[in-house]
Chains A and B, each alone.
Chain A
Amino acid sequence: MTTATATVPAIAIDRVSKTYGATKALQDVSVSILPGQVHGLIGRNGAGKSTLLRMITGLETPDTGSLSFFGEEAPAAADAKGWQQRVACVYQRPSVFTNLTIAENLFAGRLPGSGPKISWRTMQSEAERILSEWRIDLDPRSLLSDAPIEERQMLTIAKALDAGTRIVLLDEPTVQLEGSAIRRLFDKVQELQEAGVTFVFVSHFLREVTAICDSASVLRDGKLLWSRTGDDVRSDDLVDALLAGQEQRRHRVETAAASGVTPALELRGATEKTGAFTDVNLRVAPGELVAIGGVGGSGKYSVGEAIAGLRRLGSGAVVVNGDEVASGKVKASQKAGIGFVPADRHKDGYVPQLSVAENMTMGVMDRLAPAGFFSPRKQTEMSVKLIDDVALVPPNPKLAVQGLSGGNQQKVVLARALARDPRVLVLISPTAGVDIAAKDAIYALILRALADGVAVVLISDDVEELLVSSRVLIMREGRVAAELADPTEEDIVRAIEGLE
């Protein structure tokens, strides 16, 4: 399959390490990719893929080790032009100027013309040439914002190759694409590969990696697990590689729904208004834990947001303790007994300048101030109790949340969800980006809530987190694709990837 037989690799990564504070993002990683290869890069969130990609694009310098391209030492960190000439990167959301025309995007940073004057005519004809070469049926004068995402990705690649780049990194390029668009992208990649262009392909979809890559590397916890070429790149091997060396899971909660009990939470044919998910049915008994997994864009987060009232249903219903909850209203959800921890705590979780006490009690102001006026003393008392519940460090209600560590900020968000004594807790990736100690504290809190009879829905990207639950739902393309009872890690990975 590989046409190039050259011994000089297009990308040679030699014993590279990178440390951020206490986190070893990459440890002694060596990968060598030959010209004309499509090299898959696989690993979970936090495995070190992004750090490696940032290194290959020159956005990050290794602490130790070195990089070379086609046998030449990598350019200096400050030499942005040098990096751009060697490597181009296509992200899932291409970082381009949507407010400018397609022609301007193709020639951004290298506008044709003499002196300060831009030659629009040259740019126009050159852009037309590139577009016809790529069989992209768009007017170069139209705005990029009018072009579909796949065309934008194609344009990014086209631009890079036109500028002479011979290495293209594809960072989860298919996440936003439809099936036919993915096929077109892959066809183009294969065509260019035959012409000698080298690709690094990052994806969560093992099927895509096996379909398009002729070599692959698997990262875990900053270490290279293995690196293979040719026929070795089979999905079973990749699954094995992802699972290999996994330490025993530390948390596992066995909860079972008693039959005949009114479910604490029920979704009845719930379909989101904009179609983020379709016909989701779910029953969670009091004291029961259900986890929901799936790749990015599978609609799993949207389900959680809909239960919390942040998204409106087009049809179907959210039912708590037998009563239907008005959809799309956060206050209604809260009053029905739903507590919510959003996926992105920085965006939806807390108000950074406000104090711990204010953030924790934000959702219960109607209780603290039934007549409009509230007592700051009551607010402090309530937050002191919540601080104790979630073991906040430092236990100071007056501190601004922006001064806390990530794990403690997350505890504040959790306390906000607990403030109203919920009967249902919806937690999206509650332990993402927090340290081990905070992780343990958060799991302990979930356990205590379950023991108190709270129904918990745990939505996560992280297989390890999903494994906490003995009942795991897997979503794909907005629908519940599988329900797993007492799954192993391999079961979950296979279900998420849609293998067999």
Chain B
Amino acid sequence: MNSARTTVITAPTIRNPFLGSVVRNVRELSVLPGLVIVAVIGAIVSPAFLTAPNLTLILRQSAELGIVVIGLTFILLTGKLDISLESTVGLAPMVAAWLLIPAAMGGLGTMINPFVAILLTLVIGAAIGLFNGLLVVKVKLDPFIVSLAMLILLRGITLGVSQGKTLAGLPDAFRYIGSARWFGVPAAIWVTGILFVIAALVLRYTAWGRALYAIGGNADAARAAGIRVDAVLITTFVVASTLASFAGLMLAGRLASVTSGMGQNLIFSALAAAVIGGVQLTGGQGRIVGALLGVLLLGTLTNVLTLAGVPTFWINAVYGGVILLALFVGRFGARPSTT
């Protein structure tokens, strides 16, 4: 066949299937060297870094971010955006806890069953997602502005409901998922890991998952091909917000309380993790593996900065600088050119 000579192919054709898959994964793998470098620095600056408790701590502290990143990745793949996810992290468990907790401790004291409260947390998350999705898809508002407004609105409701107070005294069942340990490892780590596996399978092996890529790549073509673009987009927003509310539940369990500032600024780390991991803001490109590596990089970085004794006031500056560097490496390091 001499067709290869006359046909323009953007990606190199590789015969070895293993090598081929490595090359295809190259964008995601470009995070790995960064992760290794940060880990090596961590091991050098502190003997405490490479210990089981510390590594577990990194994972545990990355769990909530990870779950938000899963949902955010889904939305980014479709080419949309929802920055209000961080406010959902705070609002959903806050409302549930407020209903749950006795009036003496700042709640409403309905004494609803804690399991109902957990369910309610997720339902509130789903409802916020539905609202966002309808505004973006049906009212055709710009997702950035819509979710910016929602970010402020939901944070405001959280403050209003809690009167700025921290709600403690949560029942055990409500705190369970964020505080329990399974086989000596925090349940939150297990659950986050399982969610990442499910997310990867959904993106690769379900019609819905593939539809996210198709919509992000070319929504008009997806519509003409018979994909129910509007329905898929709305469910994406619902799924992402539900995941965010679950992350909020886990965070509440870890802190053994619900604070009005829960989730604040989380969306910036989430966006950074996704983009470092190769998820394109323009939609249609990226993988959940990359997003996971992005989360681990940021989690490890935070931990190392603390262990290294970087002055508290300088941690954010260093954090931001490293994110910038990671984006640089991703852009000019190993990314195949796309047109």
Contacts and interface: CB of A to CB of B under 8 A. Distances in A.
A353 B3 contact: no
B10 A372 contact: no
B338 interface: yes
Contacts of A310: 223-224
Contacts of A359: 225
Interface stretch (A176-184, A402-410, A474-482): A402-410
Interface in B197-247: 201, 204-208, 210-211, 213-214, 217-218, 220-228
A408 B339 CA distance: 18
A351 B284 contact: yes
Contacts of A352: 217-218, 339
Interface in A390-438: 393-394, 396, 399-400, 402-405, 408, 416
Given A348-B220, A351-B221, A352-B218, A399 B226 contact: no
A123 interface: no
A349 B224 contact: yes
Nearest to A305: B224
Contacts of A369: 206-207
Nearest to A375: B205
A368 B226 contact: no
A355 to B, nearest CB: 10
B264 interface: no
Nearest to B218: A351
Contact of A362 (B3, B204, B208, B227): B227
A330 B210 CA distance: 18
B10 A362 contact: no
Interface residues of A, number: 40
A362 B222 contact: yes
Interface in A341-372: 342, 347-354, 358-359, 362-363, 365-366, 368-369, 372
B13 to A, nearest CB: 8
Contacts of B317: none
Given A353-B217, A354-B213, A374-B206, A348 B10 contact: no
A403 B207 contact: no
A399 B9 contact: yes
A428 B4 CA distance: 30
A149 interface: no
B139 interface: no
B8 A372 contact: no
A393 B8 CA distance: 11
B1 interface: yes
Contacts of A372: 206-208
B52 interface: no
A11 interface: no
A354 B1 CA distance: 24
A299 to B, nearest CB: 19
Given A366-B207, A374-B206, A394 B3 contact: yes
A363 B221 CA distance: 10
Contact of A358 (B9, B11, B206, B210): B210
A208 to B, nearest CB: 32
Contacts of B208: 372
A69 interface: no
Interface in B1-47: 1, 3-4, 7-11, 13
Contacts of B204: 376
B95 to A, nearest CB: 31
A374 B207 contact: yes
B179 interface: no
Contacts of A308: 224
A408 B3 CA distance: 12
Interface in A57-91: none
A350 to B, nearest CB: 5
Nearest to B10: A403
A353 B215 CA distance: 11
A386 to B, nearest CB: 14
A408 B10 CA distance: 15
A334 interface: yes
Nearest to A340: B224
Contacts of B284: 351, 353-354
A362 B208 CA distance: 11
A42 B64 CA distance: 65
A397 B211 CA distance: 18
Contacts of A223: none
A374 B13 CA distance: 26
B10 to A, nearest CB: 4
A403 B224 contact: no
Contacts of B201: 373
B10 A416 contact: no
A352 B338 CA distance: 10
Contacts of A402: 10, 339
A283 interface: no
A85 to B, nearest CB: 36
Contacts of B10: 400, 402-403
A331 interface: yes
Given A365-B211, A402-B10, 8 more contacts: A330-B224, A331-B226, A348-B224, A354-B284, A358-B210, A362-B227, A372-B208, A373-B201
17 contacts: A308-B224, A349-B221, A351-B217, A353-B217, A353-B285, A354-B213, A362-B227, A365-B207, A365-B210, A366-B207, A374-B206, A394-B7, A402-B10, A402-B339, A403-B7, A403-B10, A404-B7
Interface of A: 308, 310, 330-331, 333-334, 340, 342, 347-354, 358-359, 362-363, 365-366, 368-369, 372-376, 393-394, 396, 399-400, 402-405, 408, 416
